[in-house]
Structure formats: structure tokens, C-alpha cells
Amino acid sequence: MLLHGYFRSSAAWRVRIALALKSVRPETRIHNLRTGEHLDEAYRAVNPQALVPALELDDGTVLTQSLAIIGWLDRSYPEPPLLPENTVLRAQVEAFALAIACDIHPLQNLKVLKRLRAAGWSEDEVAGWIRTAIADGFAACEALLPDSAAPFCFGAAPGLADLCLVPQIGSARRFGLDLTPFPRLVAIDAACAGLPAFISARPDRQPDAI
């Protein structure tokens, strides 16, 4: 099994956490997003979207899109489960994860930021755009959490929602967002921070970290 990724990619970070929680240890191949290595024709042959992550299975099958990869992992390696069996709760967890993966994260995608800069936006304006996008999304995420004292998003153990949240919190901190208005998200991030799977998946623990 081979994971294509980049240390700072939030989507790849999600998948690294899931792999670590499942004790699945693929080989890794790095594609530097800053230098455009992911745009090479050789990688486009693997993933036509030229995005990371992509996961090559032992039989050569390629899986793309982080949530699809995580879904495959959860079905193929059932323990520990990343989604609850209760269908309503499962839908709530998926909604939380999608709010981050589909509504917050794409607005800070490197492709989007390059276009903003090409349109003449200053670095301060770009950073402000990112902070506003994350803050708006986090306000919704706080409201989507259940009224519970559980340490993780939806219970006593981390799952899909948590492994989407932690990389997004990392991005928020990198871009200087004040997280004071989101105490529950910060507390959940802190609970995850001490777990081995989350530690090993951190960007600064990756071989391409700079």
C-alpha cells in the first residue's frame, strides 16, 4: 500500500490519522505542493485531479479523495470504528466532517489562494480571507456538536469528525485565527493531541516537514 501525500495537506493529514488509528502503515510518496510536483504527468496518471492524498492498494487500485479513502479504511479495517452504528448519529458525524472537508477546507486550498494572489490580493487580504472562512465554519461546527461532556466530537473515542477537525485547527493556528470563540473545538483538539495516532500524523512528524 502506498500513500501519496504532502506534510502540510489537511486532507492527507486526515488520512494519516485514520491510517494510524487503524494501525495500517503504508509506504509514503511525497508530492511537494509548493513546487508543483503534484502536477507532473506521472502523478496525474495516478490521480487525474492532481491532488493529495491518493492511496494505492496492494493490487494497484487507486483511491482518491480523503473522505472516500477514510470510508474504505473504516470498512476494510473495522476496529476501531470511525463512525457510529446509529444511523442518525452517523449522519450527524458525517455532516460535521463534510462541513470541514467540503465547506471550510476548499476555501483555503492552495489553488484558490494562488488565484486570489493572481487577482492582486495582498498577503494580508489573503490571510484575512482564510481566517474569515475558517471562523465562519467553526461557528457552525461548534453548533453542530452534541450537548455532551464527552472528550471527543461525538463520544468517548475519536472518530471521523475528530480526524477532520484536528487538521483544520492546525490550519487555523497557522493562519493566526483567534480560537477563543470556539472553546469546545479547542478542547477536543487538546484531547486528540495526546493520542499516539494523532501525534504520529502531525505535519512536523512527516519526513518532508520543513
Beta strands 2-5 and 27-30 are: parallel
Residues 171 and 98 in one domain: yes
- State which residues of the chain have pLDDT below 50: none
Q: Which domain holds residue 12?
A: 2-80
DSSP three-state, residue 162: helix
The closest alpha carbon to 71, from 159, 138, 202, belongs to 159
Are 26 and 45 in a shared domain?
A: yes
Q: How far, in Å, CA of 206 to CA of 208, rounded?
A: 6
CA-to-CA distance for 133 and 102, rounded, in angstroms?
A: 12
Does 116 map to a domain?
yes
pLDDT of residue 95: 98
pTM score > 0.85 for this model? yes
Residue 61 and residue 113 in one domain? no
Residues 6+ apart with CB under 8 A from 52: 4, 5, 6, 9, 11, 12, 31, 33, 38
Q: Are residues 159 and 185 in the same domain?
A: yes
Which of 22, 51, 80 represents a domain boundary (last residue)? 80
- Residues 72 and 95 grouped into a single domain: no
Last residue of a domain, one of 22, 45, 80: 80
